Structures are given as C-alpha cells and as structure tokens.
Amino acid sequence: MRTNTAENNKLDLNRVTKQQKILKIVGVTLTYLFLTIMALTVLFPFYWMLNSSLKTLEEYKLSVPTFYPHAWKFSNYVTAFQKANLGTLFMNTLFVGLVSTVLSLVITVLSAFAFARLEFKGKNILFAFLLGTMMIPGELFTITNYITVSKFQWLNSFIVLIVPFLVSVFYIYLLRQNFLQIPNELYLAAKVDGTSDLKYLWKVMIPLSLPTLISITILKMMGSWNSYIWPRLVVDDDIHQLVTTGLRGAFTAADSTVDYPVQMAAVAIVSLPLFLVYVFLRKYIMKGVSRSGIKG
C-alpha cells in the first residue's frame, strides 16, 4: 500500500513538474512573440523611410506601394545632401548643441551641488518651487519667451537658440538626487581639511556622479538635435537654420511638387547620428538614471 502511495505521489509530482515546464515555455514564447510584434511595429517606419529613400519619384507615387525598391537609387542621398545644404545645417546644430550642453552642465552641476550640500535659508522651499514648475507645460512659456527675446533683439541668432533652454529643472533634480547618495561625511571631512566647496565638487562629487553627468550630456545633446518648434519660431534666415528646420521646403520644386524620395534620404541622414547615439550610449543613459535613486 505504501509503495503504491509513493508511486502515485511521484507520478503526481512528475505531472505537476511537466505542466509547470509547459506553462513556462508557453509564457516565454508568448512574451517573445509580443516583443517581436512590438519591435516590428516600432522599426517599420524606419524601414519605410529607408525603402522610400532609395526609390525613384515615379515608383514612390505608384498607387500600390512597393516594399522594396525596384531600382535602387543611392544618388538620392547625394542629391539630398546638396539640396538641403546639410553640411551647414550639421555644423550649426553641432555648434548649438555643444555650447548649450556645456553651459547647461555648468549650471546644472552648480545648482545641484547647492541644493544637495550647501545650507541656506529657504533651500527646501525654493527647490519645491522649482519642482512645481515641472508641472507647467513648456508650450505655455513659448509666447512670453518669444516676446522677451524679441525685446532683446536676439531673433535670427545663435543666442536665441542657446540661452532660453540652458536651465533644466529635471537635470538639476536628477543630479541632486545623485549627489545626495554621496556620504555627507566626505564633505565634512573635506571642510575640516580646508578644502573649498568648488575643489570638493571637482575632485569628489563630479567623479562619483560621472554616469549621471554622461546621461545628462547625452539627453541634452539629443534634445538640442531634435528641437523644432522654437528654432522654427525664432529663426527664419538661412544662416542660422538647424537640421530639423532646414529641411522644410528644401525639396519643393517651382511647380510645388515635392521630391519625396530625396526628402526621405535627407531625413535618414539626419536621423543617423541619433540612432548611433542610442545604439552605443544607451547603457550610459540607463546607468546614470538608475543611479540617481529616490533619496532626498
């Protein structure tokens, strides 16, 4: 009797184990199937952009679209680079991005250090007020910012593309949270040793917070590269155009026809730097954001 009971228990255990394995395999399969469908959904617009950029205009206008070019026209990329003057647009965007990123980093580091380590009256109230401004949509400041830069006569200049967005409350908050994770005993010991605040910031806090600073740098550069509404509003000459605004109207002929394949080629060229940044630097973005924590 005992032998039969043990065998039955063993059979039940094997049956349960087998069912669990089957459920696990089914769950993993469904998960990967869902992720594959989502990945294809996200990647399809990029594939269609590349597909369209290699077609002729006649093939692009076919009533039934083709999923691959019948005649590969790589010359569209050369034409796009020349027509849109992408060399100048890239240089303008790179200049605005680098200058705004460097200045923004200086402001962010000093502000985050002040809120994390220095003691002054109203610090917490001021920081709470800054966090409250994050709840206000940025579009609400567009009109007031435009009136302000107009009075300063900054329109159609690089200054108007750089100065209004040097301060980011989100970046200050992110770096402050990272600074708060550094033990305060290090700061007190440095002060006893006679180290100035700026030297302590440069020698201790910045090296320890380097992943977050790298994340802020990447995000700021990407934001400058993708900026469209503000540059479109404050710049209408050809000298100060950025890549996001310089492509507008560059491929429209005198008869109002648009060379869409060449336009798609230009968009692919402009999208390439951000794609490379995402592929090679995404781990730094995730690492920096995850290290910021929620302390404070």
Judged by average pLDDT, the poorest of 51-55, 119-123, 276-280 is: 276-280
Most confident range (mean pLDDT) of 80-84, 250-254, 282-286 is 80-84
Question: Residue 55: pLDDT above 70?
Answer: yes
Burial of 84 (0-12, 13-18, 19+ CB in 10 A): buried
How high is the pLDDT of residue 67?
87
Report pTM: 0.79
Greater model confidence, 15 or 54 = 54
Distance (Å, whole) CA 220 – CA 213: 10
Question: Residue 292: pLDDT above 60?
Answer: no
Question: Residue 37: pLDDT above 90?
Answer: yes
Average of per-residue pLDDT across 201-205:
88
The residue behind tokens 């609400």 is 140
Asked if the structure places residue 233 within a domain, the reply is: yes
Q: pLDDT grade, residue 140 (50/70/90)?
A: confident
DSSP state of 249: T
| 43 and 92 in a common domain | no
Q: Check which CATH number belongs to the domain holding 165 and give it.
A: 1.10.3720.10
Asked if the structure places residue 60 within a domain, the reply is: no
Distance (Å, whole) CA 224 – CA 168: 13
How high is the pLDDT of residue 295?
46
Distance (Å, whole) CA 218 – CA 265: 25
DSSP state of 229: H
Cβ atoms 90, 243 nearer than 8 A? yes
| 35 and 129 in a common domain | no
| 141 and 14 in a common domain | no
Distance (Å, whole) CA 139 – CA 174: 22
| 284 and 233 in a common domain | yes
Question: Residue 187: pLDDT above 60?
Answer: yes
**Domain of 179?**
81-292
Those residues with Cβ within 8 angstroms of residue 44's Cβ, 6 or more apart along the chain or in another chain: none
How high is the pLDDT of residue 198?
86
Asked if the structure places residue 176 within a domain, the reply is: yes
Greater model confidence, 292 or 5 = 5
Asked if the structure places residue 174 within a domain, the reply is: yes
Asked if the structure places residue 58 within a domain, the reply is: no
Asked if the structure places residue 134 within a domain, the reply is: yes
| 132 and 9 in a common domain | no
Encode 149-185: b = buried (16+ Cβ within 10 Å), e = exposed.
Answer: beeeebbebbbbbbbbbbebbebbbbbbbbbbeeeee
Q: Nearest CA to 120 among 206, 197, 195, 212?
A: 197
Quote the mean pLDDT of the chain.
85
How high is the pLDDT of residue 296?
42
Question: Residue 291: pLDDT above 60?
Answer: no
Q: Nearest CA to 49 among 262, 244, 256?
A: 262
Asked if the structure places residue 63 within a domain, the reply is: no
Asked if the structure places residue 76 within a domain, the reply is: no
Average of per-residue pLDDT across 166-195:
87
| 114 and 251 in a common domain | yes
**Total domain count, the chain:** 2
Count CB atoms within 10 A of the CB of residue 288. Answer: 23
| 90 and 26 in a common domain | no
pLDDT tens readout for residues 228-271: 889 989 998 888 888 888 887 777 766 677 888 888 898 899 88
| 181 and 277 in a common domain | yes
| 248 and 174 in a common domain | yes
Question: Residue 72: pLDDT above 60?
Answer: yes
How high is the pLDDT of residue 254?
61
Most confident range (mean pLDDT) of 15-19, 126-130, 211-215 is 126-130
| 101 and 244 in a common domain | yes
| 106 and 225 in a common domain | yes
The residue behind tokens 């990945």 is 39
Question: Residue 10: pLDDT above 70?
Answer: no
**Looking at this protein, which amino acid is placed at residue 27?**
G
| 269 and 205 in a common domain | yes
